Structure 1
Amino acid sequence: MNTNKQLPVTEQENELKNLSCLYEITKHLASASNLQDCLEKVVATLAAEKGMENGTVTIVNPTTGELEIEVAHNITAEARRRGRYKLGEGITGKVVATGEPILVPQIGDEPLFLNRTRTRGDERKKKASFLCVPIKVDGQSIGALSIDREYPDGFGSQSENDLRFLTVVSGLIAQTVQRVQKVNEEKEALRQENSKLRRELSARNRIEEIIGNSSRMQEVFDMVHRVADSGATVLLRGESGTGKTLVAKALHYNSGRRNGPFVVVNCSALPETLLESELFGHEKGAFTGANSRKKGRFEVAKGGTLFLDEIGEISPAVQVKLLGVIQERTFQRLGGSEILKADIRLVAATNRDLEKAVQEGHFREDLYYRLNVFPVYLPPLRERRTDILLLAEYFLDKYARENNKVIRRISTSAIDLLIQYHWPGNVRELQNCMERAVLICDGETIKSIHLPPTLQSAETVNSDKPLSLATAVENFERELIIDALKKCKGNQTRAAKYLDTSLRIINYKIHNYRIDPKQFKTR
């Protein structure tokens, strides 16, 4: 005879439903990577499997200390925004504050039920029961899980069973919150570590003499470090003033030939006859005026690096001889018969379109391929705008020290002009611009009036007429406020005192000019 107590059929069905529902909820929580998504699935499962409507998960906002609805089933976004409670306020606030679950037999009869979401206005919903249980992590209530449910047979043991069931679910949610938080913390730690490693790598890759943190310049630094130790010929491409000479020096001083000479030849500055003699040298009597033997740059650069700037300007005759030197690694002085070894690392540079010059027959194709072993493209300044302010401040410091001036900063209006300008002369033009500004500046700040007229043209400032008096005054006032916020590290009270005005006026002006004081705070 079987003496085991048999559960009533309805209770068995309820237990099976509970197990089925828990299984689905556990699946959602186990695979959770985004907490909000999985919580939405949990409350949707409660509605589908258990008939628990308006499922809501409310979490304590650590910043405000208020309870805010994280997810809600069958509740609009507007209703969710209204569902805010302080700890101890309403049923939900009381559950989180005390850490104890609460059962409300009928929503409409409970004075503590605030209905902030305004979703229980009709009579049917007022007769529904409200069940709310705390979500605890390490014994601390971090939120609450609540549902509405109608009990056709009256409020009784079924509601108690549901409350216990929701307590189990809230425990599972709490475990998931801990797990997801830990994963997110680990991800954030990895992100910070990755960011730190990137900064360290960037610092290692950075070349001291070259200023720039933009992604385009990071690519240049990376290319320089990759090829520096090899003996490969490097061809530097880029507009005039982009810093090709600095990169050539970096290639030399980061290579194994750093202890040898770094010899520069500007190929566009010399006529053909003199260039050939300059490169290869000559013997006494080789031509009229050759009164003694002279070493060429290939010979002078022995053991080091020879930098041929503006290589695209050399004549066809010199191109032929240069090709022979690159191929054979030997050369002869003009008028001489001795074969000399070219023990050099060759770096060339040009701002010309060599491919077009080859097509037009102005540049030898075979020489082009000999030079273009490892091309490095230097971006124009207009394509690395994030470096403009960095360069401007570097040149400001350099020329202020050279001219014994105390100039501490560049005004916001001047920065705007520097950033907006298209810089056809690239870094060299910016350098000249900042030197001029330092020379004519009599105060501690470089202002827009100290910059060349070319930067203040209609093309730069997008204006067809001069500023009105009101606009000019507004710009000046805005600059004063920004200057004060910078000095006071974003503290508006101190900025108001610095400007000898009231905090109310400063706040009004900051709002009016759309200034964000947070960006001036020290981190």
Structure 2
Amino acid sequence: MTCTVHALKLKALRAISNVIDRALQLEDALTETLRVLAETLAMQRGTITLLDGETGQLVIAASHGLSREEQERGVYRLDEGVTGTIFSTGRPYLVRDVRNDPLFLDRTGARRVERGKVSFLGVPILSKGRPVGVLNVDRLFGDAVSCAEDIEFLEVVATLVAQFLSLNEQVAARERALRRENMQLRTRVLDSRGDFIVGRSGAMAEVQRYIQRVAGTRATVLLLGESGVGKTLIARLVHTLSEREHHPFIKVNCASIPESLLEAELFGHEKGAFTGAVSARMGRFEEAHEGTVFLDEIGELPPGIQAKLLRVLQEREFERLGSNRTRRVNVRIVAATNRDLAAQVDAGRFRQDLYYRLCVFPIRVPPLRERPEDITGLLNHFLAKVARDYGRSLVLAPDALELLQRYAWPGNVREMENLIERMAILTDGTLADRRFVESLLEQAPAGDDGQMRAGLAVPPSLREVEQGELLAALRRNGWIQHKAARELGLTPRQMGYRIRQWGLAPLVASERAKG
């Protein structure tokens, strides 16, 4: 009998050794190992239980002779039952009769219908001398076979399993290192092409680290910062540096689309869903399948659509307008806002559950005034860009450069890009001096001393023109927003957005109160 068992054990070890070529398909390799034990040595209901790094619990990673439901019930604390005892002590454990040992929990429920004596063996799976899991089997041989011999055999099998695990971890670590290296190389290429964020300040270096950390994940990203700091560029970089790079990047400005059309824009509609819906149309989420949806100005999202977006974030599913058919999409969501969403939640204007879903990985993009060391580099970047786009090689005179370095840049990077573009269009030469630059800047503090550049003949900026038009329309309509909006061809929601954007809400409220 003993010779026969030894021969069977050698046969089992040879079969398990042949599994090494499938070691990188870890679950398959572990399951095959347990199948060999069961079919060669009658070691039934084998399980390999591993430590889950996220939960800190022991979970069955592979089994033979258990149903999927039984396997899923096999979860143990590190100090719980036979499995927890083997893991915590790093020593084998023998249950001579599963019916009589109080440590044997039968958590899976697989032995409730068993009749007669069943022994149970477990050995630790050790990596560098430390437990990483447990190998358990039912032992159906009688007392004629030494339990010590079975334990010694299972320890050899556990060593092979540990090698499978170690090989997988080494490959995973190498893949992580290669992904990091690939990310760094791609970042350098984008930087050299001028597609990455130009900025060498500590604040922007931190933003770049965050982008590189999150880009390769599936996490939702929330970009926070003032208008013009470059949130759209960052959203596109998150997409470009991710595995979704070759799939669509779809941008939706939640503030610029009328509320009545926004739902159909995002989720699509069927023919006849509303007046004017002459044919079916997929929405932006469907268009972005496998790619990224960038929701700009997320703080302007109406309450009714907030609930539908929450469902997309949680379940990745929705229905088109006019349809009961549920559609599923695989998209990554990047959102951006220049508003304080936490304050919006406190005021009841933004759903708290949606806020928490969006705020998985927030990135604050600092305004330009907080990183003056980036100004010169950004100016050079945009001068090089207009040289390519307009064929104009502009040079800033030293006094003009000094002026721009001291300027507060209330419109941030967008204002700088627009300024350099206007310079390229309006200048007759190649040298931009201080007087010319001053003529293009809107009237604003010249520097930290807060003095105004009084006396300069400064042409009105686009911002000032729009503010003037809004105020004039409001005055003509008795400060009633919806009437002023109708005169300007805007929806009430768009009008409200512009009033908040230009900081006119206190003035409008004051004038309404006077009226």
With normalisation by structure 1, the TM-score equals 0.48
With normalisation by structure 2, the TM-score equals 0.49
